[in-house]
Structure 1
Amino acid sequence: MKRTKFLVVCSIALFIFLAACNDSGNTSISLAEVTRSVFYAPQYVAIEKGFFEEEGLDVELQTTWGGDTTMTTLLSDGADIALVGSETSIYVYAQDSSDYAINFAQLTKTDGTFLVAKEEQPDFTWENLRDSNFLGQRVGGMPQMVGESVLKNHGIDPHADLDLSQNIDFGNIPGAFASGDYEYVQLFEPTASVFEAEGNGHIVASFGEESGNVPYTVFMAKQSYMDENDEEISKFTRAIYQAQQWVEDSSAEEIAEVIEPYFEDSDLDMLTASIDRYKSQDSFATDPTLDVEGWENLKNIMDDAGELPADVPYDELVNTEFAEEVVNN
């Protein structure tokens, strides 16, 4: 009887192990990204250059379109790791979650949106936005909070000095801007460049250049997953670091050639221009360590927007052990 129980336990353990691995023997990791953007170039490089595979990982990427959906996917075990704005981890923590998300590897260190105007404005100043019809991003999301912070720094109250619309879903914002009577919008690349190329808009400013160092998009996982899969988290972080270094040392054109399969509707020249914009403003983090300065800037931006639910200490939601290990070794 004891032998039978032992064999059953062993069979269950073997099944669990095999379920986490694919036919190649690599460990499978499900990764949810908040949107598809050139802003996440190092992530696509890690996949396409085989850096994950070299670590014995097979990363299955899904795009979950929006911070709320992405965090829900992570918390419900629809993904092992999420690439999403670090503000979402604060929202979850403030809800007294028993198994909250931990930020362990930073991918981008500035805002990734650009201010796009419907009409050409060669002499643009931020004062041009006053009394304009502005299509904003989701309330409580990083694009909107950073956008509001930048506008306030230029003396513009986004809720008093603009006709601000925030009722459009994240994925539908580009289409709404193109077809509506909005004068300004925040867009990520390559969408901003596509609009410019098609004559549907003109890039007039960068929110990334205006907002400074902030952990805009970060890889995070539930605490329970990290406790049970610390080796996989370490391997994942090492692959990301290798991709970040490759992106730092490579030209925009070389990067564009690698990530082109993820942007079938964008030609190579447009991708190159988009990547060059991000590289020129140091948007791509060169290592995965999320520092205290960035975390405090994030909380200040959230607080300024009236969206900080709790003053969460850096050490509570940020784990730099894996990042520091791979960088130092």
Structure 2
Amino acid sequence: MRRFTGIGAGMASLLLVAACGSGGSADDSGGADPVTVGVIPIVDVAPVYLGVEQGFFADQGLDVTLESSQGGAAIVPGVVSEEFEFGFSNVTSLLLAGAKGLPLEIVGAGNYSTGEQGDDFSGVVVPEGSDITDASGLSGKTVAVNTLQNIGDTTVRQSVEQAGGNPDEVNFVELPFPEMPGALAEGRVDGAWLVEPFRTIAMNQGGTEIASNLVDTQDNLMISSYFTSKQLRQSDPELVERFTTALNRSLDYAENNPDRAREAILDYTEIDPAVAEEMTLPKWSSEINTGTVERLAELALEDGLVDEKVDTEALLP
């Protein structure tokens, strides 16, 4: 397990601090092309912050500003409207956008499950004293996810089905990740899909992890990706290629230098030191797992998130 160590700051707001890259414009960046990337202030995006810090984007003649948003719901329209040149989102959200005809294209991987049962950065947790011992016990119960009809309930359904339960009997409710540990402790939900650091917080409050839902869904599951608009790909393919080159270098650097990734995360999150010391990092890779995109597209159709299977070829580079 990779762990964070020696991290300061409080827990008043775990995912709070919006941060920027080198910023600016072509006039104050030595002639580099200004690029804005919509990101979410979570552990997953550490590589792109590292890439700015290490100069990987500058090496490609890019002056990058990282614009913090609450989630893909804001980032997707920002990319379509060209407010952002690039954005970060989970794969299912991009598939849903594709189903609506939005002209988007994946340009690079975001982050991956560790692939380790019980040692992933994501899992399903039940509260202290629960008699639920595996995901089959979630049938007929209330389970919190951060967004309904998205990657959370889709992957939790896989855990329930594989454990022998009926996923159609799970009552999913929507809660922000920071509220989930409290909801579990107070008995307001029977289980919750949690990502770090909230997974560790809930378990430190006596919760028990009963499933690694991302691992159950697919080996080597790519959770998220960076994307752009098809308009930008067509109008300035060279800019997209330079960004992708720098991004891939950043992803590989973060994977090979976890201590540097931990330091970068301090710039845009506030995490309690004790929690951070236990927290599991995701896996990062510069490889786009096309099989994941296809798998999540199949599940989106199976779960009724879309009316017909999304054309994954249109979404992939």
Q: Percent identity of the aligned residues?
A: 18
Is residue 102 of structure 1 aligned with residue 68 of structure 2? no
Which residue number in structure 1 is paired with residue 225 of structure 2? 218
1:296 to 269, 290, 294: 294
Aligned-partner Cα distance in 2 for 1:202–1:253:
28
Structure 1 residues 290 and 21, CA gap change in structure 2 (3 angstroms):
farther
1:262 match: secondary structure: coil
Q: Distance in 2 between matches of 1:78 and 1:87?
A: 22
In 2, Cα distance between equivalents of 1:184 and 1:92: 28
1:74 shift after superposition: 2.1
1:1-329 equivalent positions in 2, closer than 5 A: 21-25=26-30, 26-33=32-39, 35-97=40-102, 100-110=103-113, 113-119=122-128, 124-160=133-169, 162=170, 164-168=171-175, 173=180, 176-177=183-184, 181-197=188-204, 199=205, 201-212=207-218, 213-250=220-257, 252-267=258-273, 270-271=275-276, 273-276=278-281, 278=282, 283-284=283-284, 286-291=285-290, 293-319=291-317
Q: Which TM-score applies when normalising by structure 1?
A: 0.75
Higher fraction of helix: 1
| Alignment CA distance shift 1:150-1:308 (3 Å) | farther
Bigger CA drift: 219-228 or 86-95?
86-95
The Cα of 1:170 is off from its aligned counterpart by 6.4
Does the aligned pair in 2 maintain the 1:22–1:28 contact within 8 Å?
Answer: no
User: Cα offset for 1:195?
Assistant: 3.4
Structure 1 residues without counterparts, runs of 5 or longer: 1-18, 320-329
For the residues of structure 1 that align with 2:277 and 2:234, how far apart are their CA atoms? Answer: 39
Q: Is the 8 A contact 2:232 2:240 kept in 1?
A: no
Match of 1:301, SS state, is helix
Q: Which amino acid aligns with 1:146?
A: T
For structure 2, list consecutive stretches of 5 or more residues without a partner in the other structure: 1-23, 115-120
Secondary structure class of the residue paired with 1:181 = coil
Q: Is the 8 A contact 1:116 1:187 kept in 2?
A: yes
Go from structure 1 to structure 2 and tell me whether the alpha carbon gap of 1:258 and 1:70 turns closer, same or farther (over 3 Å shift). Answer: closer
The answer (yes or no) to whether the contact 1:91–1:309 under 8 Å persists in 2 is no
Q: Determine helix, strand or coil for the equivalent of 1:289.
A: coil
Give the paired residue count: 286
Normalised by the length of structure 2, the TM-score is: 0.77
Q: How far does residue 151 in structure 1 lie from its aligned partner after superposition?
A: 1.6
Q: How far is the alpha carbon of 1:204 from its aligned partner?
A: 4.1
What SS is found at the alignment partner of 1:310?
A: coil
Give the Cα–Cα distance (whole angstroms) in 2 for the partners of residues 182 and 43 of structure 1: 35
Higher relative contact order (CA 8 A, sep 6+): 2
CA contact (8 A) 2:90 2:225 kept: yes
Deviations 1:83-107 (A, max 9, x none): 012333333333344xx11112112
- Structure ID, larger Rg: 1
- Kept after mapping to 2: 8 A contact 1:149/1:301: no
d(CA) in 2 for partners of 1:167, 1:259: 26
Q: Give the whole-Å Cα distance in 2 for the aligned partners of 1:44 and 1:89.
A: 22
Provide the aligned C-alpha RMSD in A.
3.0
What is the CA distance between 1:263 and its match in structure 2?
A: 2.0
Structure 1 position 222, deviation (Å): 0.8
- Is contact 1:152-1:158 (8 Å) kept? yes
- Closer, same or farther: CA 181–258 of 1 in aligned 2, 3 Å: same
Tell me how far apart the structure 2 counterparts of residues 309 and 55 of structure 1 sit (CA, whole Å): 41
